[in-house]
Amino acid sequence: MNPFILGLQARNLTVEIHHHSAYQIVLSNDSSFNSTINGISYRGIYGFLIKPHVKHFCVAENGTLNILNIEPYSTVGLELSSRFKKDEDCIVLHTPSDINALFNIPENSAEINSIIEVMLSELPATRYDERVTKIVDHIRENYFRSDITPQTFADIVFLSPSRLASLFKQQTGSSLSKYLLWTRLRNAIYVILTDKGRSLTDIAYDTGFYDLPQLKKYMYEMFGMPPKALKYSSDLIQIY
């Protein structure tokens, strides 16, 4: 899975009006659903793709939704931005065939991992610098440490913080700080959904955030849902 994609599956869920800084793809796994996007009501649709900061909500009380949140400045986020027409905030998918056409996949094969594979296959091939790979490995193993700084990464690969930041952004499309933040958020969301007896405060500390308010701030900003609401709906949501 691309580290700048967060995939969730929600069953029989109604999501209140919200917005977030990630691109979002919402697709029905079975039946149609209703949604309101930027104040416009859409009934009986099978999915949509929206830009960041577009207000929306969904009502899918009798079905399953696949939800992909994508960092807007990553390479995959930049590819998604090219799909929109000028002044277009959303792409509404009225039928299953619309899903197949948008993602260039065969009929009856709108499985979420297939869609992700197609999205990633359309990106330019990149041979990552070994220093970028080394930083990615370090983040994977140490994301929970709250004392990580730009200098921490620079010392690992013997570059200045500014040179490393430039190299990382050139190869991933996004910043090193955003990569670290997405890694922490993905792990925090995973724990919230799978370890229901653990307190949100402990989860925040254990995934590298200074405290629960910081986790709440970033989770709401990126995905439009605070940790408490996610925990409350954990019986209806699972992470890919």
**In b/e form, how buried is each residue of 167-203, taking b as 16+ CB within 10 angstroms?**
bbeebbbbbbebbbbbbbbbbbbbbbbeeeeeebeeb
**Rg (Cα) of the chain, in Å, rounded?**
18
Question: How many domains is the chain built from?
Answer: 2
Q: Establish if 142 belongs to a structural domain.
A: yes
Q: For residue range 46-88, what is the model confidence (pLDDT) as tens digits?
A: 999 999 999 998 888 788 888 999 998 888 888 889 889 988 9
d(CA 33, CA 72): 25
Q: Establish if 215 belongs to a structural domain.
A: yes
- Both 99 and 204 in one domain: the answer is no
- Both 111 and 210 in one domain: the answer is no
Which residue, 88, 121, 154, sits at the end of a domain? 121
Provide the 10 A C-beta neighbour count for residue 212: 18
More confident of the two residues 144 and 18: 144
Looking at residue 23, its pLDDT comes to 93
Q: Establish if 235 belongs to a structural domain.
A: no
Q: Quickly list DSSP for 157-225.
A: HT--HHHHHHHHHHHHSS-HHHHHHHHHHHHHHHHHHH-TTS-HHHHHHHTT-SSHHHHHHHHHHHHS-
**In b/e form, how buried is each residue of 108-147, taking b as 16+ CB within 10 angstroms?**
eebebeebbeebeeeeeeeeeeebbeebbebbeeebeeee
- Both 158 and 190 in one domain: the answer is yes
Q: Establish if 233 belongs to a structural domain.
A: no
Looking at residue 26, its pLDDT comes to 92
Query: Residue 53 maps to which CATH number?
Result: 2.60.120
Looking at residue 108, its pLDDT comes to 64
Residue 75, classified by CB atoms within 10 Å of its CB into exposed (0-12), middle (13-18) or buried (19+), is middle
- Both 172 and 220 in one domain: the answer is yes
- Both 114 and 139 in one domain: the answer is no
Q: Establish if 110 belongs to a structural domain.
A: yes
Retrieve residue 31's tokens: 């039946």
Which residue, 76, 96, 121, sits at the end of a domain? 121
Residue numbers of the domain that contains 206: 130-227
Contact call for residues 90 and 37 (beta carbons, < 8 A): yes
Q: Establish if 238 belongs to a structural domain.
A: no
Q: For residue range 182-223, what is the model confidence (pLDDT) as tens digits?
A: 999 999 999 999 998 999 999 999 999 999 999 999 999 998
Which residue, 90, 121, 152, sits at the end of a domain? 121
Query: How confident is residue 123, by pLDDT bands cut at 50, 70 and 90?
Result: confident
- Both 88 and 187 in one domain: the answer is no
